[in-house]
């Protein structure tokens, strides 16, 4: 009987250890859900009237833990400029306010341009946000939001906004949280070299010939994504290059900046 008891005890112990390990792992998992809303509002009741379309597809945490509340508040404030309300309510409120602003601002102007068909495109508004979750890093979850909008200008604007969340607390992580003090100068050099490699340019003059860094120096963007083996820094249009160059992403391996990272 003693061997059987020993075997049974070992099995029970293994079960407990596996359960505990699973519990610890599950505590780090962020369970995102997505809310999808689409709203179109015409500027008036006339046939073929210009319209405003708002399309939002946003990931959020549904549970009411402190971690979930922290994450949702950060997402809502960053993307919708609304905080401390449930995500569905925040999305509905943003869509309503955007459409109301469209009518209030543009409807009076449209009355004067209604008969000029060439100006109708000025009143076609499109605003969309779509999000993506990247869970490669053990301690952080990256959240990417792509904002794409047209508000009657010469062209549409596309931007990417990123957030990185501590999977244990839901805290939004900033550069100062992961880099040692005084990291900027060395990181600037690394980013500059990465931009040279990406564009095939050598030196500042060749970069400027390609449209980069004509009005600013390189800098560590607050838009960054923490991946498994690297950090990707994202520069939206007009930040380090003109609209024609599009969004610029610089991927920096951790091995290149290991001495700059907090241990």
- What are the tokens at 189? 């050099």
Cα 50 from chain centre: 30
Domain 32-166 falls in which CATH fold?
Answer: Heat Shock Protein 90 (3.30.565)
Are 32 and 60 a contacting pair, CB within 8 Å? Answer: yes
Are 154 and 238 a contacting pair, CB within 8 Å? Answer: no
Q: Give me the percent of the chain exceeding a pLDDT of 70.
A: 89
Mean pLDDT of all residues belonging to the chain: 90
pLDDT digit string, tens, across residues 106-143? 999 999 999 998 999 999 999 999 999 999 888 999 99
In the prediction, which pLDDT does 30 show?
84
Candidate CATH numbers 3.40.50.620, 3.40.30.10, 3.90.640.20, 3.40.50.2300; the one for domain 175-260: 3.90.640.20
In the prediction, which pLDDT does 21 show?
39
In the prediction, which pLDDT does 138 show?
87
Q: Where are the domains of the chain?
A: 32-166, 175-260
In the prediction, which pLDDT does 152 show?
87
Mean pLDDT confidence for 19-37: 66
H-assigned helices in the chain: 2-28, 66-80, 87-113, 175-178, 184-199, 203-209
Please check the confidence at residue 3 and state whether its pLDDT lies above 70: no
Please check the confidence at residue 251 and state whether its pLDDT lies above 60: yes
pLDDT digit string, tens, across residues 59-103? 999 888 999 999 999 999 999 999 999 999 999 999 999 999 999
Give the bridge partners for 163, in sequence order: 143
Give the neighbor-by-neighbor strand order of the sheet with 125-134. 32-42, 51-61, 125-134, 140-151, 157-166
Three-class DSSP category at 188: helix
pLDDT digit string, tens, across residues 171-189? 999 999 999 999 999 999 9
Mean pLDDT confidence for 159-169: 95
Measured distance CA(234)–CA(93) in Å, rounded? 29
Please check the confidence at residue 23 and state whether its pLDDT lies above 50: no
- Report the 10 Å Cβ neighbour count for 92: 16
């Amino acid at each position: 009987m003693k061997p059987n008891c020993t075997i049974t005890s070992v099995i029970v112990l293994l079960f407990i250890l596996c359960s505990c390990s699973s519990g610890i792992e599950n505590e780090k998992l962020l369970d995102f859900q997505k809310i999808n809303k689409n709203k179109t509002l015409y500027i008036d009741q006339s046939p073929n009237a210009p319209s405003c379309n708002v399309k939002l597809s946003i990931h959020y945490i549904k549970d009411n833990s402190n971690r979930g509340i922290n994450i949702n508040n950060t997402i809502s404030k960053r993307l919708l400029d609304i905080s401390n309300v449930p995500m569905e309510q925040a999305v509905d409120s943003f869509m309503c306010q955007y459409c109301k602003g469209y009518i209030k601002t543009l409807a009076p102007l449209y009355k004067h341009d209604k008969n000029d068909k060439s100006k109708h495109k000025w009143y076609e508004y499109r605003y969309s946000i779509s999000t993506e979750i990247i869970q490669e890093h053990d301690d952080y979850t990256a959240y990417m939001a792509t904002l794409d909008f047209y508000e009657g200008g010469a062209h549409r604007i596309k931007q990417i906004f990123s957030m990185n969340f501590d999977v244990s607390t839901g805290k939004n992580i900033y550069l100062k949280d992961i880099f040692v003090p005084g990291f900027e100068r060395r990181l600037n050099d690394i980013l500059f070299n990465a931009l040279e490699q990406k564009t095939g340019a050598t030196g500042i003059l060749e970069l400027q010939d390609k449209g980069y860094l004509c009005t600013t120096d390189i800098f560590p963007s607050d838009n960054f994504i923490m991946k498994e083996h690297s950090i990707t820094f994202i520069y939206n249009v007009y930040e380090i290059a003109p609209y024609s160059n599009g969004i610029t992403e610089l991927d920096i391996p951790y091995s290149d900046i290991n001495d700059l990272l907090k241990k």
